[in-house]
Structure 1
């Protein structure tokens, strides 16, 4: 079977299941209906191994979105990866990735969650190293090892769940939420979610994972891998509300949002800018979740998946046409050469910024207005709104560099908008980016939110967005020579542009010193004292003595006669004395 038929079959199969799950999810939501399936795999004496699945409106809705995006991504890959001779392997890896995510979504049991969780980790490693070069291997190892910390935390939480007699956390959360054991489990699950969703200090793997093919990035950064942590915490939301864990998560996620927004304003790699915007939105989801509004976090999770997948698909189409250049300084004037792709890119960017009546507006604006209503400390309040301004700032900077002005790339180029398969894949998400927010808003909330605020607070979000956009334009357009040449600006851009030196801390900071100490120990002990008192010196002595013995054995007659002569001489000497 050739790769074209595999792509088409996968696309049709996934899109059919996606729509069926979506309508089932609406039905379950309207009727407040949940299905809990237990399948006894094996029973021996009094011990039974049971596989459990939970189908409620949340899991069905999320699965339908994951399948919709993955089907369009696979269809998009048909053209994007057409030059790859191992396209079958790529499609199978993507399908395995989606299957792992499905298993994680429908699991009310920590053991089956771990299967999906580890499946995501392992397959993501295979996809990140897909292009098989040094950069990909480094990124893959950083991704895998960062996520292993969370896997270990999940394993420890499974061990602690034995206190309750079963691993099905869904039975114990509600009435055991004040129990000390459950708080320990909550802390471990929080650590696992922080690694998977790349919160500080585990943020460095997310931009590094951009070494994967762009269709994989579209899938990973919208509805799979990075959202797994948020989804797990949505299921464990009872443990976060009004507790120490919730306050801790609010601080960390706020700082992540702030750090990612600042970093994106100093970045020139197209895919890394979009990756940092994902990190910023993950911080937003985590922070509103830590305040107890899990439905809002889930709402933003779904809307974000739509426009972020579209953003990556557009970036992939641009990179594909730019002969694999990813630096935005080489772009410019793309609206003239790629009008449809540029339109999709700008709509996705506007949805990310919270442009009224696009998908991002309904969730993002609602979250910020709920924050204005809440009993919030000033520092977290600042992080929320300043980060929102930064989002518009780097989005406008990205549009300015890529879409406007003159083309800065090679004079001989093949820029065109005729990749029909990629365009059709993007079109499906374009429609959902425009109508998805309002549709989900009507479905998820039984009554529309009517949030009454003072005039200045009501318009604070809009004011912050306009200010951020203006700053983005000024940073890109106005040549601030006195600032750009200054020593302070250089060091500041180094610090902020490298995500507060987190990639260096995660790589050199951990590996360099341990390898340095290991090298010294190796030189002084393995090649030093232990060699002298141990194997090497023992070997030298054995060689010396064995040579002596072999010399004696080979020359024994000579030695006997020599000793005989010495004995005669000694006797004569004694007689004469």
Structure 2
């Protein structure tokens, strides 16, 4: 019965994806869009409306979300076949997709909040799907970090109550004359960098890897982490030219660099791919802060294709390795599962920006457009070295999983699963041909990019530098390191200590405060003056009463006579 659920929802999502694709082509061809509005309630000239906008951007993004979710649903039919709570998993994934679609199609902050908050809450339910202490800790870190972004959207809604409408598309010309609207833009900016895990909110994204791998493929490709980028993309008509964009540029550039460095020192397969997602999100935010909206959206679509492919390949590898995720145990997989390694390498090459893969069309164009801006050497270095670091951790992963010797159990069964590989083949074809097809559709006019010979080959130079660096990191052993290098290694492998600085250190104060309050109040004065004090006083009175009444008839009669005498005297 559960298999029927998977197939029904797979077919439904896939046909909805096809319908969205044809509708998006129609919108591009005739250059029009549809706005649908339902007025739910009107109170004191403030209307709460449900607004949906269908243009080629939202419809194309919806098509990619539906396509990836349909492939994930088919993949989960076999990956989750041994789980007890499969119906719960199916409906959580469907609710997750519906929340993302609601957020994509809505330009109204009220209906955006429904999808935005739904993404945060259902992601928590999916992260704790495997019920153990690690999943619970990761789920709490994920949901509390995302609640910061939800709070910012709630504050935006309360502030925009003054303007009479929550449709932020109406306020493009008002932002230049109304300084209070800048506060709304700042709150949207904070909410977006929280959801897209930019510095200092980056620590939740690798922790969300506790979720099942099909969910990770959905979360880290086109839904949860891209919601912040898409929100800023929709708000760019209010944000362009503001000082916030300069702050976003610096934060996203540092996030891009930090994720690339940390991925080179990580040994968990899913966390390496999660950190590569963080690096690509930083790249999208950098391009978006330079007001290249269409280019950012282009990379958002291509990134969704090859990142979902990478996660599905990683899930199959983990499935074969008896739920082991350490890349040091993997090796020589090409001898056991050549088709899986082929698709894994296609995803990795698309991630690196290998020529004529999906990632090449967006990443190379972004790098060349970046060279047109007048930046100093500091920003130039961080941007292009992050390109090289992407190639570096990809090559390191390739060495560990394919070229290295197998370090796993002697007795194992690793072979291609052709049922699970079906959905990966579809994503692999899109990872190869999707970049060129999307570029032909999105960029219907071309700009001439004229660069010098050195600048033109700058991306290729840093790619080869990344190849050399990945080879060196793979061969570099940490057995005989001095104290300084060991601390530097720990600093780089732990995301520049960001989980400790912005997660554990903040919660440590509240945990320590609660511990002291427990000792001083609940087990201290409150206990002495409260429950235990009242109990001891009652026990003393009870003992006195028992002493009076316990075989002391004479004392009882004397008290009776005294009471009788007092009644006689006072009457």
Q: Give the corresponding residue for 1:575.
A: none
CA 216–554 in structure 1, closer or farther in 2 if over 3 Å, else same: same
- Give RMSD over aligned pairs: 2.1
Q: Does 1:490 align with 2:486?
A: yes
Q: Which runs of 5+ in 1 are unaligned?
A: 565-577
**Alpha-carbon distance between aligned partners in 2 of 1:544 and 1:209, rounded to the nearest angstrom:** 56
Q: Give the corresponding residue for 1:527.
A: 523
CA offsets per residue over residues 121-178 of structure 1, 9 Å max, x none?
A: 1111111111111111111111111101111111001111112111111111344255
Is 2:384–2:462's contact at 8 Å kept on the other side of the alignment? yes
**Alpha-carbon distance between aligned partners in 1 of 2:309 and 2:197, rounded to the nearest angstrom:** 21
CA offsets per residue over residues 519-571 of structure 1, 9 Å max, x none?
A: 2232223333344445533443343245435544667752378899xxxxxxx
Q: Give the corresponding residue for 1:395.
A: 394
Is 2:193–2:228's contact at 8 Å kept on the other side of the alignment? yes
Q: Give the corresponding residue for 1:374.
A: 373
CA 26–138 in structure 1, closer or farther in 2 if over 3 Å, else same: same
**Alpha-carbon distance between aligned partners in 1 of 2:47 and 2:165, rounded to the nearest angstrom:** 11
Q: Give the corresponding residue for 2:21.
A: 22
> Following TM superposition, by how much is the alpha carbon of 1:193 offset from its aligned partner in structure 2, in angstroms?
0.9
CA 342–449 in structure 1, closer or farther in 2 if over 3 Å, else same: farther
Count the aligned residue pairs.
561
**Alpha-carbon distance between aligned partners in 2 of 1:258 and 1:504, rounded to the nearest angstrom:** 19
> Following TM superposition, by how much is the alpha carbon of 1:99 offset from its aligned partner in structure 2, in angstroms?
0.6
CA 560–133 in structure 1, closer or farther in 2 if over 3 Å, else same: closer
CA offsets per residue over residues 267-326 of structure 1, 9 Å max, x none?
A: 001110000000000000011111111111111100000000001111111111111111
Q: Give the corresponding residue for 1:211.
A: 210
Q: Give the corresponding residue for 1:447.
A: 445
**Alpha-carbon distance between aligned partners in 2 of 1:323 and 1:543, rounded to the nearest angstrom:** 61
| Structure 2 counterpart of 1:477, from 471, 475, 478 | 475
Q: Does 1:467 align with 2:468?
A: no
> Following TM superposition, by how much is the alpha carbon of 1:479 offset from its aligned partner in structure 2, in angstroms?
5.1
- Taking the TM superposition and a 5 Å limit, the aligned residue runs for 1:221-300 are 221-300=220-299
| Structure 1 counterpart of 2:418, from 410, 415, 420 | 420
**Alpha-carbon distance between aligned partners in 2 of 1:206 and 1:165, rounded to the nearest angstrom:** 36
Is 2:138–2:207's contact at 8 Å kept on the other side of the alignment? yes
SS of match in other structure, 1:389? helix
Q: Which runs of 5+ in 2 are unaligned?
A: 561-571
CA 547–20 in structure 1, closer or farther in 2 if over 3 Å, else same: same
CA 117–274 in structure 1, closer or farther in 2 if over 3 Å, else same: same
CA offsets per residue over residues 229-277 of structure 1, 9 Å max, x none?
A: 1000100112332321101111111111111001000000111000000
**Alpha-carbon distance between aligned partners in 2 of 1:68 and 1:563, rounded to the nearest angstrom:** 91
- Taking the TM superposition and a 5 Å limit, the aligned residue runs for 1:129-144 are 129-144=128-143
Q: Give the corresponding residue for 1:558.
A: 554
**Alpha-carbon distance between aligned partners in 2 of 1:514 and 1:41, rounded to the nearest angstrom:** 41
Is 1:240–1:292's contact at 8 Å kept on the other side of the alignment? no
Is 2:45–2:164's contact at 8 Å kept on the other side of the alignment? no
Largest Rg, 1 or 2 = 1
> Following TM superposition, by how much is the alpha carbon of 1:24 offset from its aligned partner in structure 2, in angstroms?
1.4
Give the TM-score taking structure 1 as reference length: 0.93
> Following TM superposition, by how much is the alpha carbon of 1:454 offset from its aligned partner in structure 2, in angstroms?
1.2
> Following TM superposition, by how much is the alpha carbon of 1:23 offset from its aligned partner in structure 2, in angstroms?
2.0
Q: Give the corresponding residue for 2:6.
A: 7
